[in-house]
A and B are shown apart, each in its own frame.
Chain A
Amino acid sequence: MNMRSLLMLTMLVAPPLAAQPYDTPPPPGAPRPVAIAPPAVQTLSNGLRVIVAERRGLPLVTAELVVRSGAEADPAALSGLADLTAGLLTKGTATRTAPQIAQSAEALGGQLDSGAGWNRSFVLMTVTRPRLAEALALIADVVRNPRFAADELERARRLAIDGLSVALAQPGTLSRLAANRAAFGASSYGHPTGGTPAALARVKRADVIALHAQRYRPDNATLIFTGDIDAGEALALAQAAFGRWARPATPLSASPVTAARPVVRTPVAIAMAAAGQAGVTLAAPAIARTAPDYYAGVVANAVLGSGYSSRLNQEIRIKRGLSYGVSSQLDARRDGGVFTVAAQTKNPSATEVASVMLTQIARTRSEATPADELDARKLTVIGAVSRRFETTEDLAATIASLEANGVDPAEMTRVIGKLGAVTASEVQAFANAHWGAGAFNVVIAGDAPLFIDALRAAFPDVVVIPQAGVDLDRATLRR
């Protein structure tokens, strides 16, 4: 790994030398570099990629099977299909019932998790090293031989719909999902990955079986091991569990993602009676993970809204006391992405929070980030990246994300160097290219009578939609 940029940055923010040991902090010592080895990548004869990142110290291994297709492949009328399908994998196989699978997994000490996100579906488990072979056999069974029994589909559907009724009662969650839809319009990245109650009600068993047949195949999958294991041991385990997983003769069909095409551009207020706070979200279409300015975007995001000392948190939380926390996120996916700024605040402050967000975004366009601030924000994000190498689960998640987004997993050894090299002019150029005044979709969900007058004064075009009238399956957001 290239640690030099990190070391140089560390020196740049060193304080003046301490004259009085007790009234000023002592200077930092010499940095101690860390080496991150590139993960080992191997391929079985059926096309399954096997990736191993060793991390010794504790007898733990995370094993994760990633299918490189996910919610982006959901048909427009069936949002949530990929997530529901992944969830059903662990609910019965040819030889085991759902309770038997849960029992087997938990007797190994782990928890068998499965689900789907953008460009990925996954099954994963963390166990102690002696239990790994059995855990992997279980993962292989649920991936290759799921039963998709009708009664399990009904049970999963009910649970998912009940879960959505809870999630959508939170103003922050509703505003985020609606803003994501507003930013993407009818694009296949626009719906909630967990689906909507109406779409989940439409899913038939045949839809689940067809998705599994199309997407769950060794040449569309990666098996990741992280922790107390080396590449040779991992390959032998992978071969034993997945070596006979046949690659279908038919070519893998692409799951094309349609480009973002927002159709709702005015601010939207979702009226939630008696909501305890307002959820304020701004969302704009963003770049793909492979875009050349991705790292400039990560640093721009760190300056604006990622981490405690970002500008948004300084202005909204620290200076004005308007929120417990505000943050922004660059969600760069395989074929595009979304940039989101979000906070919860007391209802009467909703408009002020949205205005401060827009003002701070404009500042990143008009001014270059001062050198000391840029260095600090780069180190903040570099530190956050480095800490993700400290646990087997975070390490596996890092590799899974690179695989899903079509990036060489060896990139994880280059991330810190690339972040360190980003300049202030690249940050400003990124903001001007992607964070234009018209790029952001503003959605506020909350107790509308408490903020609507102020919101209208600031945004005369605001459209009010009652909570019951929101349809996240539609680009217009409305039933």
Chain B
Amino acid sequence: MKASRIVSWNGFIAMRLCFPSWSSAILLVLASWHALAVPLDVRPLEFRERVLANGLRVVTLEDHSSPTVSVQMWYEVGGKDDPAGRSGFAHLFEHMMFKSTKNLAAEQFDRMTEDVGGNNNASTGDDVTNYFSTVPSNHLERLLWAEAERLQNLNVVDENFRSERAVVQEEYRQRVLASPYGRFYESMAPRSYTTHPYKRGVIGNIDELEAASVDDVRAFHRTYYRPDNAILIVTGDFDQKELDAWIDRYFGSIPKPSTPIPRVTAVEPPRTRAAGYRETGPNVPLPAVALTWLAPSARSPDAAALKVAAALLGNGESSRINQALVYRGQIAQKASFGTDLRVDTGLLIAYAIASKDTLPAKLVAALKKEIDALARAPVSAAELDKVKTQLLTQALIERQTPLGKGMALGEAIVVLGDARRVNRELADLQAVTAADVQRVVRKYLIDAPAVTIEYAQQAKS
């Protein structure tokens, strides 16, 4: 639960790769190449934005299709802000936000959500930590009160801290140690970054988690959990006037600290040379390889073309890499390409898990061949249209629920830097041309050095 959605390399494929949204244009003409092209009536997300005097940003979106409401708090703090010697701390802290406060007992959040027919969860990524509950809409005011309470009055006791830290260590074991490819995924960030704290990843390690204390929890809360570092997102079944009054009531009086919010200033330098690494694990049924490149910020004008390029290479069974490595070549059990775009420098990752008796070097060559082909010849109108239609459909599927709508808004605000991007991004994707794809593939993949990671079974003792 808490942090079942922690954003690790295998997680962002699901979360970041397909986060486009639909355009504010009322009519999108899908599949212009298609004989039976049909215009699709897609409405923009009609949200409201305001900022309280204490700096809290508030985004709300009314939607009465179900009698439920999603309440989300997004804090601009993530794995990149882990204190020195405390890798994994931002995520451990996220778990502690469900423990006691001045006016809430430990786990009382579950009493106020799950016990009344709702649910709650939270996740920690490299750039952001978000907390999201869905409740029957008559419980909205109580949830606002509770979010304001844990923002102001967190009060963790040592006993709860120790048991939850053990839970996070079990989470580490489950994701990294017990999963055949856990170590492979965890090696990507440290092998890809040289300087930026992104290189530590989010989940940390057992020893640094063990070193953390309740004092660290208090200091972290004081430093980052403040109204001017947070976004409150409410989507679903509510009355706007009533909601605005509740937000003013419970959040308006929270003071804004006078101290500045510490920010990561490290800049990942451009990669100057290619590098190769070999990693091993104790239970690796089939070898795997990954190629990584540095990517521009998610806010870059090149981001849309990179997402389209990634979809051409890796989105779905008909994607180029799946067809070449899994279907035709039969050299991979699984193969794909993903973008991990972040606030600062992100990653572009091609990867494959070998089929039985295939050598990793063969996978590397095959992945590179598909990337080269995309740079060399312009993609056809039909193939380009296919991925745009896929990305639009996936965005619609994502946004059927209040939770999904809120997630799209949060991602736009924190990662893309502007809530309005939620409605602009699809138009950006639709505008990508074949020449754009060739240009960004050359710039970020062909003309840039790759880090190659080979992963295999360790020698048996």
Residues in chain A within 8 A of chain B (CB atoms): 6, 10, 13, 21-34, 56-60, 98-99, 102-103, 105-112, 126-131, 134, 155, 158-159, 161-163, 165-166, 168-172, 272-277, 279, 307-309, 317-325, 344-346, 376, 379-380, 382-384, 386-387, 389-393
In the bound complex, what is the Cα–Cα distance between A345 and B178 (angstroms)? 10
Between-chain CB contacts (< 8 Å), 20 pairs: A10-B138, A13-B115, A59-B41, A60-B397, A103-B386, A106-B386, A128-B393, A129-B40, A155-B327, A166-B181, A169-B180, A272-B283, A273-B460, A276-B182, A276-B283, A279-B178, A309-B110, A320-B163, A376-B116, A389-B66
- Contact: B333 with A166, CB < 8 Å? yes
- Contact: A21 with B249, CB < 8 Å? yes
User: Which of B39, B134, B146 has a CB less than 8 Å from the CB of A387?
Assistant: B134
Q: A28-B138, A59-B41, A390-B401 are in contact. Are A383 and B119 (CB under 8 A)?
A: yes
User: Which of B114, B134, B173 has a CB less than 8 Å from the CB of A346?
Assistant: B173
User: Which of B178, B181, B330, B389 has a CB less than 8 Å from the CB of A109?
Assistant: B389
Closest to A14 in B: B116
Return A62 CB to nearest CB of chain B, in Å.
9
Q: Chain B contacts of A162 at CB under 8 A?
A: 285-286, 333, 355-356
Return A354 CB to nearest CB of chain B, in Å.
16
- Contact: A29 with B138, CB < 8 Å? yes
Of the stretches B164-172, B218-226, B342-350, B434-442, the one at the interface is B164-172
Closest to B282 in A: A274
- Contact: A109 with B392, CB < 8 Å? yes
Q: Chain B contacts of A58 at CB under 8 A?
A: 396, 399-400
User: Which of A24, A165, A309 has a CB less than 8 Å from the CB of B103?
Assistant: A24
- Contact: A344 with B174, CB < 8 Å? yes
In the bound complex, what is the Cα–Cα distance between A459 and B65 (angstroms)? 53
In the bound complex, what is the Cα–Cα distance between A344 and B167 (angstroms)? 11
Q: A10-B136, A107-B385, A109-B390 are in contact. Are A390 and B66 (CB under 8 A)?
A: yes
- Contact: A344 with B385, CB < 8 Å? no
B417: interface (CB < 8 Å): no
Residue among B42, B141, B385 with the highest chain A CB neighbour number at 10 A: B141
Of the stretches B51-59, B86-94, B316-324, the one at the interface is B316-324
In the bound complex, what is the Cα–Cα distance between A30 and B182 (angstroms)? 47
Count B interface residues, CB 8 Å. Answer: 90
Q: Chain B contacts of A319 at CB under 8 A?
A: 163
B292: interface (CB < 8 Å): no
In the bound complex, what is the Cα–Cα distance between A391 and B397 (angstroms)? 8
Return A15 CB to nearest CB of chain B, in Å.
8
Return A144 CB to nearest CB of chain B, in Å.
21
Return A416 CB to nearest CB of chain B, in Å.
10
B8: interface (CB < 8 Å): no
- Contact: A277 with B117, CB < 8 Å? no
Closest to B141 in A: A26
B278: interface (CB < 8 Å): no
- Contact: A34 with B67, CB < 8 Å? yes
Return A383 CB to nearest CB of chain B, in Å.
3
Return A33 CB to nearest CB of chain B, in Å.
7
- Contact: A309 with B107, CB < 8 Å? yes
In the bound complex, what is the Cα–Cα distance between A123 and B261 (angstroms)? 52
- Contact: B318 with A30, CB < 8 Å? no
In the bound complex, what is the Cα–Cα distance between A59 and B28 (angstroms)? 12
Closest to B328 in A: A99
Q: Chain A contacts of B283 at CB under 8 A?
A: 169, 272-276
Return B69 CB to nearest CB of chain A, in Å.
10
User: Which of B136, B316, B323 has a CB less than 8 Å from the CB of A31?
Assistant: B136
Return B325 CB to nearest CB of chain A, in Å.
12
In the bound complex, what is the Cα–Cα distance between A126 and B141 (angstroms)? 35
Return A447 CB to nearest CB of chain B, in Å.
9
- Contact: A346 with B397, CB < 8 Å? no
Return A114 CB to nearest CB of chain B, in Å.
11
User: Which of A106, A170, A321, A387 has a CB less than 8 Å from the CB of B163?
Assistant: A321
Q: A98-B327, A99-B323, A106-B318 are in contact. Are A321 and B164 (CB under 8 A)?
A: yes
B413: interface (CB < 8 Å): no
- Contact: B165 with A321, CB < 8 Å? yes
Q: Chain B contacts of A10 at CB under 8 A?
A: 116-117, 136, 138
- Contact: B66 with A26, CB < 8 Å? no
In the bound complex, what is the Cα–Cα distance between A392 and B401 (angstroms)? 10
In the bound complex, what is the Cα–Cα distance between A110 and B315 (angstroms)? 11
Interface residues of B in 327-365 (CB under 8 A from A): 327, 330, 333, 353, 355-356
Return B457 CB to nearest CB of chain A, in Å.
10
Q: Chain A contacts of B30 at CB under 8 A?
A: 109, 128, 130-131
B185: interface (CB < 8 Å): no
Give 9 nearest A-B pairs by CB, closest first.
Answer: A276-B177, A321-B166, A383-B117, A109-B393, A130-B38, A274-B282, A376-B115, A276-B178, A277-B178
User: Which of A26, A34, A134, A159 has a CB less than 8 Å from the CB of B142?
Assistant: A26
B196: interface (CB < 8 Å): no
Q: A128-B30, A379-B116 are in contact. Are A106 and B42 (CB under 8 A)?
A: no
In the bound complex, what is the Cα–Cα distance between A22 and B118 (angstroms)? 23
Q: Chain B contacts of A129 at CB under 8 A?
A: 40
In the bound complex, what is the Cα–Cα distance between A273 and B112 (angstroms)? 43
B137: interface (CB < 8 Å): yes
User: 14 extra interchain contacts, Cβ-Cβ under 8 A, other than A59-B396, A107-B386, A390-B65?
Assistant: A10-B116, A32-B67, A32-B138, A33-B67, A106-B389, A128-B396, A155-B330, A169-B180, A169-B284, A277-B174, A309-B115, A376-B116, A383-B119, A386-B66
Q: Chain B contacts of A386 at CB under 8 A?
A: 66, 68, 117
- Contact: B115 with A379, CB < 8 Å? yes
B237: interface (CB < 8 Å): yes
Closest to B398 in A: A391
- Contact: B138 with A31, CB < 8 Å? yes
Return B301 CB to nearest CB of chain A, in Å.
25
In the bound complex, what is the Cα–Cα distance between A212 and B382 (angstroms)? 34
Q: Chain A contacts of B32 at CB under 8 A?
A: none
B448: interface (CB < 8 Å): no
Q: Chain A contacts of B65 at CB under 8 A?
A: 56-57, 390
Interface string of B106-133 (1 = CB under 8 A from A): 0100111011111110000000000000
- Contact: A107 with B393, CB < 8 Å? no
- Contact: A308 with B390, CB < 8 Å? no
- Contact: B178 with A170, CB < 8 Å? yes
In the bound complex, what is the Cα–Cα distance between A102 and B65 (angstroms)? 33
Q: Chain A contacts of B399 at CB under 8 A?
A: 58
In the bound complex, what is the Cα–Cα distance between A108 and B388 (angstroms)? 10
- Contact: A126 with B397, CB < 8 Å? yes
Closest to B180 in A: A169
B145: interface (CB < 8 Å): yes
Return B406 CB to nearest CB of chain A, in Å.
13
Q: Chain A contacts of B111 at CB under 8 A?
A: 309, 376
In the bound complex, what is the Cα–Cα distance between A159 and B356 (angstroms)? 9
- Contact: A128 with B40, CB < 8 Å? yes
B139: interface (CB < 8 Å): yes
Q: Chain A contacts of B13 at CB under 8 A?
A: none
In the bound complex, what is the Cα–Cα distance between A318 and B285 (angstroms)? 33
Q: Chain B contacts of A31 at CB under 8 A?
A: 67, 136, 138
B432: interface (CB < 8 Å): no
- Contact: A34 with B66, CB < 8 Å? yes
B256: interface (CB < 8 Å): no
Return A14 CB to nearest CB of chain B, in Å.
9
In the bound complex, what is the Cα–Cα distance between A190 and B40 (angstroms)? 47
Q: Chain B contacts of A105 at CB under 8 A?
A: 317-318
- Contact: A102 with B317, CB < 8 Å? yes
Q: Chain A contacts of B317 at CB under 8 A?
A: 102, 105-106, 111-112
In the bound complex, what is the Cα–Cα distance between A307 and B118 (angstroms)? 11
Q: Chain B contacts of A24 at CB under 8 A?
A: 103
- Contact: A130 with B316, CB < 8 Å? no
Closest to A23 in B: B103
Interface residues of B in 154-213 (CB under 8 A from A): 162-167, 169-171, 173-174, 176-182
Interface string of B4-27 (1 = CB under 8 A from A): 100000000000000000000000
Closest to B387 in A: A106
Q: Chain B contacts of A390 at CB under 8 A?
A: 65-66, 68, 400-401
